[in-house]
Amino acid sequence: MSVQMPQRGLSQGQNFVLTLTLQNNSIKNKDVESIILPAAFIKGVNAFNTQPAMPRGINSNGDWVFEYERTIAPQGLEQVAFYFETAPTGHFEATGVVNTSERSYEFALGLTVLGVNPADWSPAAAKPISDDAVYEPPYLSVVKIDAFAEQDGQRTQVWSGNGAIISSDGLILTSADVVLSDRYFQLTDLLVSLTVDAEAPPPVPSYRASIVQADAKLGLAIIKPRETLDGKLSTTACLTCPS
């Protein structure tokens, strides 16, 4: 059995394929029953598809269990492909399992996702909008987003874009191209500047932000402020974003 997947670090929102090759080197048929991808690995990805198509369940440990009932003839082989998109940043390492009618076979999985999110950061749950909510002028929802990367050991702004605040706790809709790394720059941070006056540009730098969700194929991303410029954590209670 062998596993093929990217060995280098991938960026948030990047698509990749995990290919599992199952080979029967014995003189008897091998009956494969299921393939298990562990929770410690799948928390770093979003799943798109499998080839061939397989029913997927979740066991008590939170692992993904794929039903894969195949008989592999002696000296034969089967290939299974899993299509993923990287999600949060971090290193995700675990052991997968292929179950046959006779025994289980383990295989190693390792994935490093690079991006602007600090390790273990996650967005807080959004507060429901109350009936007496006060709505601000639309221009206050427009933000500027600056993307930063390390160049020659220095933090450098490499591009910028716009976004719109879509919730009272600061969720911002923007383009995936603004917040995801490319082949030339590995982004390290996002800076959000707020529009405080329609007649008095430029926007005011206010928060460092992290990615909640990004889809390079759709070209869309959701980000959220995580801290102020002086390092104070952003919460729903202290976030000064328009509704």
Residue ranges of domains in the chain: 2-114, 138-228
Q: CA 82, CA 50: separation in Å to the nearest integer?
A: 5
What is the predicted pLDDT for the residue at 34?
A: 96
Q: How do residues 46-82 score in pLDDT, each as one tens digit?
A: 888 999 999 999 999 999 999 999 999 999 999 999 9
Residue 237 pLDDT level (bands cut at 50, 70, 90): very low
Region 197-208: mean pLDDT is: 80
Q: CA 135, CA 165: separation in Å to the nearest integer?
A: 12
Other Cβ atoms closer than 10 A to 190: 29
Give, in words, the CATH class of 2-114: mainly beta
Region 153-170: mean pLDDT is: 90
Give the 3-state DSSP-derived string for the chain, with helices as H, strands as E and coil as C.
CEEECCCCCEECCCEEEEEEEEECCCCCCEEEEEEEECHHHHCCEEEEEEECCCCEEECCCCCEEEEEEEEECCCCEEEEEEEEEECCCEEEEEEEEEEECCCEEEEEEEEEEECCCCCCCCCCCCCCCCCCCCCCCHHHHEEEEEEEEEECCEEEEEEEEEEEECCCCCCEEEEHHHHCCCCCCCEEEEEEEECCCCCCCCCEEEEEEEEEEEECCCCEEEEEEEEECCCCECCCCCCCCCC
Lowest-confidence segment of 116-120, 165-169, 182-186 by average pLDDT: 116-120
Instruction: Answer yes or no: are the C-beta atoms of 175 and 164 closer than 8 Å.
Output: no
Residue 193, beta-bridge partner list: 144, 205
Q: How do residues 8-38 score in pLDDT, each as one tens digit?
A: 788 887 889 999 999 999 999 999 999 999 9
Determine if residue 120 is left, alpha or beta; phi over 0 gives left, psi from -120 to 50 gives alpha, anything else beta: left
What is the predicted pLDDT for the residue at 238?
A: 44
What global pTM score does this model have?
Answer: 0.64
Q: Is the pLDDT of residue 243 over 50?
A: no
What is the predicted pLDDT for the residue at 232?
A: 80
Q: Is the pLDDT of residue 224 over 80?
A: yes
What is the predicted pLDDT for the residue at 139?
A: 74
Q: CA 226, CA 210: separation in Å to the nearest integer?
A: 6
Q: How do residues 87-98 score in pLDDT, each as one tens digit?
A: 778 889 999 999
Give, in words, the CATH class of 138-228: mainly beta
Q: Is the pLDDT of residue 1 over 70?
A: yes
Q: Is the pLDDT of residue 239 over 60?
A: no
Region 101-126: mean pLDDT is: 81
- Percentage of the chain surpassing pLDDT 70? 86
Lowest-confidence segment of 62-71, 163-172, 233-242 by average pLDDT: 233-242
